[in-house]
Amino acid sequence: MGHLVLLAVGLDQYHYLQPLRFAVQDAQGLRDHLVGTGRLSPAHCALLTEQSPPTDDGMETEPKTAALEALLADWLPQQVGTEDVVWLFFSGYVLNHGSQDYFLLRDSDPERLPETAIAARGLVEKLQALKSRHITLFLDIRRPTAPQLGQRIGSELVQLAQTTEIPLLLSCQLDERARESRDLRRGLFTTALIAALRYHSDRTLAEIEADLKVALPPLADQCRQPPQTPLLIASEAQKGRSLFVNDAPSVPSPSPETTPDTTPDPIPEATPDPISEAQAPPVQERAVPSTASAPRAGGLWQLVALLGAIASFLMLGVLGNPPSPEREETTPTADMRPDPPETPIDPSQNQEILQQAQDQIDPGQASSYWRAIEQVRQIQPNQPLYDQAQAAINDWSQDILELAERRAEAGQIQFAIDAARLIPDTSPAYERAQQQIATWETQLP
């Protein structure tokens, strides 16, 4: 029996585009879940993020175009045999130019896509050249801010999946947008995907698609995001095959840590935290054949209840955001702020933070206000200048809103929406921004 090979890409910071927030957590979270449940060996995984170390055999994983090309051309063929299962997961920007889709890395230039980005066709051709025929693409792709670049994104990927018969699971329909959530600190699609993988010892593509279609609408609603519906491109035979076992006709035996159970509880005894699932103890799983309808329905309701609890608890701040062991040794991102230090803070330190944030603002760039806001949010309650930091956040949020409204007046509706979405939900301008976004979205073509 072969093994699972994972190439997971998650990228937040770009040289030429507004930053994303939780693409790194998406890739890291999927990898942690698969390793933590015994589905994946770290030796068979390459993680390409701003925080990932080199692979076990020394391949670089800096999220640049050359690094991904090397992993596709050199690392992946060395890992994959005929019996192995291959997953390629990507969380980040994809653009379409000349009816061709391109995956963007940190150094990809939207004005020079063929020279600086990864062509979808070239990526799929490299996957086709692998010895394994059991390959699946999971793409949580984001659309960029520029409306002229946001057309037809994903259309070539759909065609390639159909012609090459490599299954493709997209985070949303081609006329929708994939969303991230500050409450979940992940993309909605990846959160739902990990949860759908959790409670069964085996899954098929059809089952995953059905779970996501049920789970994503209430999850988006609780996170105050527009709905998104996953898009699966696969043949009927591919939809019914195992995600984990190459061409296996039946469900594999459970691992020593799991025990089959024909009478599952509707709700687990303790609601797991998807953000730190690598630390969680193994979850008892049920061996459910893909044709069993009664246990299947129970699993769906269990998934819906879990996702509702995840979103509700995270929005209420009950679960917080404990980092996984791998991330404790890395530099925290803007949304992984450290706990307030116990020693007194020198006021001059916070004054410097405020000044640096102010200095980086470009009045014509909404993303510069967003970066300034994220920087001053390091200043915690009961620290010097906290009130001044909150006042600055409110002022900058209002500036973003006014910039968005000017863009809307100029007919740049998608620019306006993307700018308004940068306003934090703690700001007085947030509610107005949400109202404007709802209005502007009705004006999109």
DSSP string across 162-224: HHHT--EEESS-TTS---EETTTTEEHHHHHHHHHHHTBS--BHHHHHHHHHHHHHHHHHHTT
What is d(CA 443, CA 414) in angstroms, rounded to the nearest whole number?
9
Length of the chain: 445
Give Cβ neighbours of residue 28 (< 8 Å, ≥ 6 apart).
8, 10, 47, 49, 51, 52, 324, 326, 327
Q: Which residues contact 91 (CB under 8 A, 6 or more apart)?
A: 9, 10, 11, 20, 23, 26, 27, 140, 141, 142, 187, 190
Looking only at Cα atoms, what is the longest distance across the chain? Answer: 66
Q: CA neighbours within 13 Å on the CB side: how many for 166? A: 28
Pairing of strands 135-142, 85-97: parallel
Q: Which CATH number fits domain 351-441: 3.40.50, 1.25.40, 1.20.58, 1.10.1610?
A: 1.25.40
Per residue of the chain (445 residues), what is the pLDDT tens digit? 689 999 999 998 888 888 888 899 999 999 999 998 889 998 899 999 887 777 766 677 788 899 999 999 999 999 999 999 999 999 999 998 888 999 999 999 988 999 999 999 999 999 999 999 899 999 998 876 444 444 578 999 999 999 999 999 999 988 888 888 887 888 999 999 998 888 676 889 999 999 999 989 888 888 888 888 999 999 999 999 999 887 544 334 444 333 333 333 333 333 333 333 333 333 333 333 333 333 344 444 454 455 554 544 344 433 334 333 333 333 333 333 344 444 455 678 888 888 888 888 888 788 788 878 888 888 888 888 888 989 999 999 999 999 999 989 988 888 888 888 888 888 899 999 999 999 998 888 7
Task: Considering the chain, tell me which residue range(s) the CATH 1.25.40 domain(s) occupy.
Answer: 351-441
Alpha helix locations (H) across 377-429?
386-409, 413-420
From-to residues of CATH 3.40.50.1460 in the chain: 4-316
pLDDT at 345: 59
Name the strand (E) or helix (H) holding 236: helix 236-239
Q: pTM score > 0.75 for this model?
A: no
State the DSSP code for 161. H
Sequence-ordered list of residues with C-beta below 8 angstroms from that of 443, at least 6 positions apart, any chain? 413
The CA-based angle 253-304-4, given to 5 degrees, is 35
Query: In 3-state terms, what secondary structure has residue 100?
Result: strand
- Stated as kind and residue range, the H or E segment containing 118 is strand 118-119
**What architecture (CATH level 2) is domain 4-316?**
3-Layer(aba) Sandwich (3.40)
**Which residue type is seen at 442?**
T
